[in-house]
Structures are given as structure tokens and as C-alpha cells.
């Protein structure tokens, strides 16, 4: 700053005078200081426009609760899969283990991180890339493609086959100690390489480290089952599935989902990401042999169209959004019309940037994954309101469900996962054949869903 301009007493006097000149400022001050910004900005007419009845709707089992963990992307993925089990076997409800993929994700992310450290030995420790890798090597967050990789390799299990533990319900301690271990492991690998240890011995050291991570995870989460017994009874209490399964056998038999048919679509209207092209994110993934993520960037209207098409076929839709924006959390309403923060302050705060600018300037990114399970349509077939299954338990929102206005979708939904059969031939060809354009690790489309 060559010629900085300080805040002067005259500036403060002018601001004070302007504030007290408008009665609305005094009313806003009294309201906000008493109940908070969002409660004071709540618009009852906007809230009233969020009913919980829908033109198109899939029926799910009982609500699940990720508790104090950042596993929303796992819960959302498992909720799309358990829906198939509930429908196929006519069950009242059913739940897949969320501790099971948590275990394997932590192990695979640890290996991914250590491989990245070995791959960046020539990078400066205080450079942006290594600093980025060290910032959060094994957090709870993830993406659909990462969950797909876990299921293809490890399958799924019923919740009773690997129940929750204290460390899965609240992952803070587990994440803290595992992160500390991995940063120490990175230090050992970099110092060993600097001392002249060859690649083969570095690889052997890394395998030892992965073994120690396994020991830590078993201590915190229990050991994942290699096989387990299943007894499923339908709504009439008839036995509909029984036997002993491996996790992959159970996925194939009970879920029967062709994982590679499901593709991740994003809508990022920034200049560096032209629509109609495929993108990946450098250094983002978990299972090293399965690669990273793969997105097709499309206009927002296409994300809505394919989501509606999948709902019409009685299948839920995994989606990612920036959940904290314009959100009445206790009431479970994501609606830009239900909050009027700009009117409360008297100038543009929420409205100071559009969707593209929020992404470009670090104001917004995907923070949470949930499941679309219903939609209302107007007379022309356009969506007006979406039904959302969250993973914050039945006490959240309305029996665990949220609503999402279509105007909110326009601003803060960034990703949907759908069967590729709903794409056009051109879109499908691009997703399957185009060489992906590589985004930087810190690109907003590389964010991991982890809201809790």
C-alpha cells in the first residue's frame, strides 16, 4: 500500500449520522442484537412457501444421523443405495453402515496423501502445493467419485455388521491424531529422501506407515468385517434375504447398482470452465489405483432436467451445495425468499455478487451433500420446490427433511449425480471420451462435502 487512507474521525461521524438518520437502522439494530441476523431477516411469507408435499416424490426409510462427523457425502451416497434395498425387498426401513466406508476412506486417504508426499519431494516445504497437502490430509469430506471408488473396492455392509463407535459419531479426535501422525510421516519421508534414501526403501517405509494407520483406525473404529450374516424381513415379516456375504457380494446382491453408470455433473459458470467439457482436480481422490474425480460442466438447467428425469423414474439424486447460505437450519428451509438480509442492513450483502463471482472470489463452494427425493412443478413443468433428505437426524428440519426453493438451487447447488442414460448423446460422449482439463487442487470445484 503506497498511499493508504486511514479511517478518520470525520468518516466515523458521517457514518454515525447516516445510521441514526434512518429509523429502519435503529429497528434492525434492536432486532439483530436481540435474536441474531437470520432470525431478524426471516420472512414469514417466504417460509410459508415451503410445504412438504410434492408432485414427484420417492419414499425413503427412517432418517439417518451423521452426528458430529463430516460424513455427509457418505450418508448421501448410502441413502441412495439403501433406497434400492428398501424398494427391492419391501422393507419398512434399512440402514447401511457408515462406519465401514469411514474406515476405508481414512486408510485410502492416508495412502493417497503419503503417495502425494513422495511425488512432491522436490517441491519446497513452504510452497503452495505442499502447504496445501499438509493442511488437511485426511479430513472427513469427500465427493461422489471417491465414494464410488470405495464401494467398488470394499463393498458395503449393513449397519449392524459394523456399528458406530465413539470415534465415528464424533470424528474430531480421530482426525486430529491421524492428521498429526501423517504430518510426522511426511516429515520422515522428506527427510529420508533428503538424506539419500532410495525410492525402493522410501516405498517400504510408506507401507509401514500405512500399516500403522490401519492399527490406529482399528483401535478407533473396530475392524471391518470380512464376512457377515444377513437376515432381512419385509413389511409383513417374511424372510426375504438371508445368508453369509462378503461386503462386495452384499453390494452386488442387495444394492445391484451399476456404479460406473452414475456420473457427476457440475455447474460452474466461471470463465475458466466452459460448459460442455470434462474436468478433474489435481491431487483430489482417495483410492490411488482408481484415479481422481471426473466432472462434466453443464448449464444449471441441465442439472435440473436430469435430476427431475431420475426422480420421475423413482430414483433419488445425490447432490452437492453450499448449505450454509440463505438457510433457516432449524426449520430446514433453503430459500432465498425466506431471508432478506439485504433489506435488514439496507444495502447489498448477500446480493453483492452473482453465482460466478462467489465462486471466483472465495465466497461459495460445495460444503454439503444430501439427496433430492421430490420436486414440485409449475404448469409449464418447471421446478419450483425440491424435497431434500438430510443426514442430521429426524429431529432436524421436518422429520429430517429440508426443502430447497428453485431460486436457491439457482444460486447454491453445484453438483448432481445421475445415471448417464439421462444425458444427451453429445453429453455422454464428452463425459466418456474427452480428456479432462485439470483444475488446481484449491479450485472451488475441488471442495469436499463435509458439513456437520
Q: Which tens digits make up the pLDDT trace of 84-136?
A: 999 999 999 999 999 999 999 999 999 999 999 999 999 999 999 999 999 99
Side-chain half-sphere CA neighbours of 126 within 13 A: 0
> Hey, is 176 helix, strand or coil?
helix
Domain residue ranges of the chain, discontinuous segments joined by +: 10-41, 56-446
Cell of 338: 425466506
CATH 3.90.70.10 corresponds to the domain 56-446: yes
Give the CA angle between residues 363, 355, 426 to the nearest 5°. Answer: 125
Which residues sit opposite 278 in a β-bridge? Answer: 296
C-alpha cell at 142: 469427500
Residues β-bridged to residue 328: 333
Q: What was the pLDDT predicted at 451?
A: 83
User: Do the strands 278-281 and 262-266 form a parallel or antiparallel pair, or are they unpaired?
Assistant: unpaired
Residues catalogued as catalytic: 72, 368, 390
Per-residue pLDDT, 55: 97
In DSSP terms, which residues pair with 385 in a beta bridge? 376, 405
Among 104, 102, 134, CA closest to 117: 134
pLDDT digits (tens, 9 = 90+) for 306-315: 999 999 999 9
Whole-number Å distance between alpha carbons of 33 and 29 = 6
Alpha-carbon separation of residue 403 from 304, 318, 398, 411, 414 (angstroms): 15, 15, 9, 15, 16
Task: Tell me how many degrees the CA angle 285-289-295 measures, rounded to the nearest 5.
Answer: 45
Q: Which residues contact 301 (CB under 8 A, 6 or more apart)?
A: none
Q: Which residue do the cell numbers 446480493 mark? A: 351
Q: Note the residue count of the chain.
A: 452
Report, as ranges of residue numbers, the positions in the chain whose pLDDT lies below 70.
none
140 phi/psi in degrees, rounded to 5: -75, -20
C-alpha–C-alpha distance, residues 54 and 385, integer Å = 8
Would you say the pTM of this structure is higher than 0.75?
yes
Predicted pLDDT of residue 452 = 80
Look up residue 387 and give its three cell numbers: 424435497
Residue that the C-alpha cell 427412517 belongs to: 62
Strand partners, 241: 232
Angle at 393 between CA 391 and CA 399, to 5 degrees: 105
Q: What local confidence, expressed as pLDDT, does residue 1 receive? A: 81
Handedness of CA 39, 44, 49, 50 (dihedral sign): positive
Amino acid at each position: 500500500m503506497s498511499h493508504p487512507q486511514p479511517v478518520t474521525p470525520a468518516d466515523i461521524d458521517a457514518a454515525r449520522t447516516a445510521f441514526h438518520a434512518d429509523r429502519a437502522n435503529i429497528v434492525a439494530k434492536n432486532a439483530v442484537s436481540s435474536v441474531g441476523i437470520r432470525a431478524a431477516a426471516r420472512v414469514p411469507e417466504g417460509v410459508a412457501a415451503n410445504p412438504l408435499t410434492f408432485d414427484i416424490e420417492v419414499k425413503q426409510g427412517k432418517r439417518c444421523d451423521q452426528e458430529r462427523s463430516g460424513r455427509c457425502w457418505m450418508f448421501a451416497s448410502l441413502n441412495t443405495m439403501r433406497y434400492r434395498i428398501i424398494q427391492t425387498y419391501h422393507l419398512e426401513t434399512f440402514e447401511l453402515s457408515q462406519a465401514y466406508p469411514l474406515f476405508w476412506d481414512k486408510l485410502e486417504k492416508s495412502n493417497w496423501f503419503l503417495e502425494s508426499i513422495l511425488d512432491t519431494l522436490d517441491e519446497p516445504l513452504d510452497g503452495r502445493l505442499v502447504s496445501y497437502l499438509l493442511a488437511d490430509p485426511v479430513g472427513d469430506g469427500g465427493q461422489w467419485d471417491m465414494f464410488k471408488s470405495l464401494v467398488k473396492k470394499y463393498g458395503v455392509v449393513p449397519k449392524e455388521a459394523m456399528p458406530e463407535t465413539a470415534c465415528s459419531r464424533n470424528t474430531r479426535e480421530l482426525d486430529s491424531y491421524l492428521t498429526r501422525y501423517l504430518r510426522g510421516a511426511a516429515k520422515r519421508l522428506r527427510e529420508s529422501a533428503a538424506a539419500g534414501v532410495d525410492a525402493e526403501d522410501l516405498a517400504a517405509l510408506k507401507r509401514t506407515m500405512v500399516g500403522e494407520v490401519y492399527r490406529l483406525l482399528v483401535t478407533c473404529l473396530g475392524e471391518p468385517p470380512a464376512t457377515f450374516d444377513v437376515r432381512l424381513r419385509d413389511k409383513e415379516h417374511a424372510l426375504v434375504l438371508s445368508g453369509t456375504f462378503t461386503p462386495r457380494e452384499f453390494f452386488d446382491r442387495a444394492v445391484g447398482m451399476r456404479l460406473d453408470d452414475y456420473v457427476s455433473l457440475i455447474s460452474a459458470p466461471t470463465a475458466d470452465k466452459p460448459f460442455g467439457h470434462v474436468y478433474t482436480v489435481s491431487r483430489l481422490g482417495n483410492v490411488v489405483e482408481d484415479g481422481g474425480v471426473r466432472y462434466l460442466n453443464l448449464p444449471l438447467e441441465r442439472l435440473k432436467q436430469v435430476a427431475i428425469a431420475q426422480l420421475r423414474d423413482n430414483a433419488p439424486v445425490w447432490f452437492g451445495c453450499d448449505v450454509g447460505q440463505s438457510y433457516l437450519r432449524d426449520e430446514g428451509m433453503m430459500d432465498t425468499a425466506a431471508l432478506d438480509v439485504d433489506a435488514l442492513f439496507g444495502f447489498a450483502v448477500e446480493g453483492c455478487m452473482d453465482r460466478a463471482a462467489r465462486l471466483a472470489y472465495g465466497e461459495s463452494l460445495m460444503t454439503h451433500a444430501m439427496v433430492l427425493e421430490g420436486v414440485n412443478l409449475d404448469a409449464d413443468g418447471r421446478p419450483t420446490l425440491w424435497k431434500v433428505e438430510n443426514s442430521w437426524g429426524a429431529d432436524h428440519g421436518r422429520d429430517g427433511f429440508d426443502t430447497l426453493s428453485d431460486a436457491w438451487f439457482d444460486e447454491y447447488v453445484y453438483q448432481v449425480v445421475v445415471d448417464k442414460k439421462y444425458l444427451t448423446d453429445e453429453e455422454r460422449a464428452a463425459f466418456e471420451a474427452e480428456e479432462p482439463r485439470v483444475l488446481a487442487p484449491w479450485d472451488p470445484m475441488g471442495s469436499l462435502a463435509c458439513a456437520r
